[in-house]
Structure 1
Amino acid sequence: MVKHVFFYMTLVAMLVTSCSVSKSARSQRNLFSGSWTLNDVSYENNTGNFKSVIFNDADDICFEGSDWFFRDNNSTGRYTITGGSLCQGGDRFFRWSVVEPTANYSSQLQFKFIDEKRKDVSGGVGYRLNIASISEQSMTLKSNVSVDGELVTIVYQFSKK
């Protein structure tokens, strides 16, 4: 009987620790929580002028000045683009999480689009951005894309509201 109890307690302990989020990821999640402004979208690792459609949504210039909100208690959020002659304004809702680092990459923010009722609208397709830095006041996210076979890094600079 004691062997069975010990076995089940060990099994439960393994399940709890394997499903838990690391202290580092939890700390980053807490830092994401709240309202942010995307101040600048820039490019590095290549020369020339670039124009891109970000997140299969809008031109890069439309994202500059956009407002982002991350709610960490239910992993939902939204970003708001201001409408104009070049930009389709409005709210875009998403579900997000922090992916822990591995040997191949640093911590990443991952998200996929949802509707106002929190239903997936992207068929499970999502995005991952490398977390270059994050603090209580600022955040830098990066994503690598290929342009004509050359690596270009898109850099997103945020400030906390």
Structure 2
Amino acid sequence: MILLVAMGIQSCSVSKAVREKRNMISGTWTLTDIVYANNEGTFKATLFDDADAICYEGSEWYFRDNNSTGRYTIESGSLCNGGDRFFRWSVIEQPESYNPTFQFKFIDENRKDISGGYGYRLTIENLTATEMQMRSNVRVDGQPVSVVYQFIKK
């Protein structure tokens, strides 16, 4: 019985590698650049079913690791519906040959799900104390395109 309880607790716990990534992500970041890799041309993209990609450049992202919540803030402009967007986030550990995955879904100010359980996943390509690079893979006209997000910690 004790062995079963110990196995249950261990299976629910977060690995040391994931805890380290969460601690590094925790804090305030600025999204400095969005690049479209694996393809040439000009793209007009709506990111996270929310706003045009140009609206995200310079946006501030805050990640709180103790309760897995955060927000990003988009400045108002002629192309951008500004304001705060709240989300719940986590880091998913992958097999050793793959990079970990960052996932999030939108919530309201009261931490209630507003996305119907749907969310977004990005691969953590690079993470240091001052820089973070994430990637999401999409298809445009049947061709793979990687959207690369470059963050700098404040």
- Band the TM-score falls in, shorter-chain normalisation: over 0.9
Is 1:16 the equivalent of 2:4? no
Deviation string, structure 1 residues 21-66 (Cα, Å, up to 9, x no partner): 1111110000010000000011000111111000000000000000
Structure 1 residue 17, shift from structure 2 partner: 1.1
Question: Equivalent pairs: percent with the same residue?
Answer: 62
The higher radius of gyration belongs to 1
Offset of 1:106 from its aligned partner? 2.0
**Partner of residue 109, structure 1:** 102
Which aligned segments of 4 or more residues in structure 1 are displaced greater than 6 angstroms? Answer: none
Q: CA deviation at 1:16?
A: 1.2
Q: Which amino acid aligns with 2:83?
A: G
In the alignment, structure 1 residue 61 sits paired with structure 2 residue 54: yes
Q: Distance in 1 between matches of 2:92 and 2:62?
A: 18
Q: Unmatched 5+ residue regions in structure 2?
A: none
State which of 113, 120, 133 in structure 1 corresponds to 2:126: 133
Q: Distance in 2 between matches of 1:105 and 1:148?
A: 27
Partner of 1:160: 153
After superposition, residues 1-161 of structure 1 pair within 5 angstroms as 8-102=1-95, 105-161=98-154
Counterpart AA for 2:66: N
Q: Distance in 2 between matches of 1:132 and 1:104?
A: 12
Figure out how many residues of one structure are paired with residues of the other and give that number. Answer: 154
Rounded Cα–Cα distance in structure 2 between residues aligned with 1:105 and 1:150:
22
Displacement of 1:103 after TM fit? 6.8
* Cα RMSD (Å): 1.0
Contiguous gaps of at least 5 residues in structure 1: 1-7
Q: For residue 45 of structure 1, what is the amino acid of its counterpart?
A: N
CA distance 1:146–1:67, shift in 2 (3 Å): same
When normalised by structure 2's length, the TM-score is 0.97
1:104 positional shift = 7.9
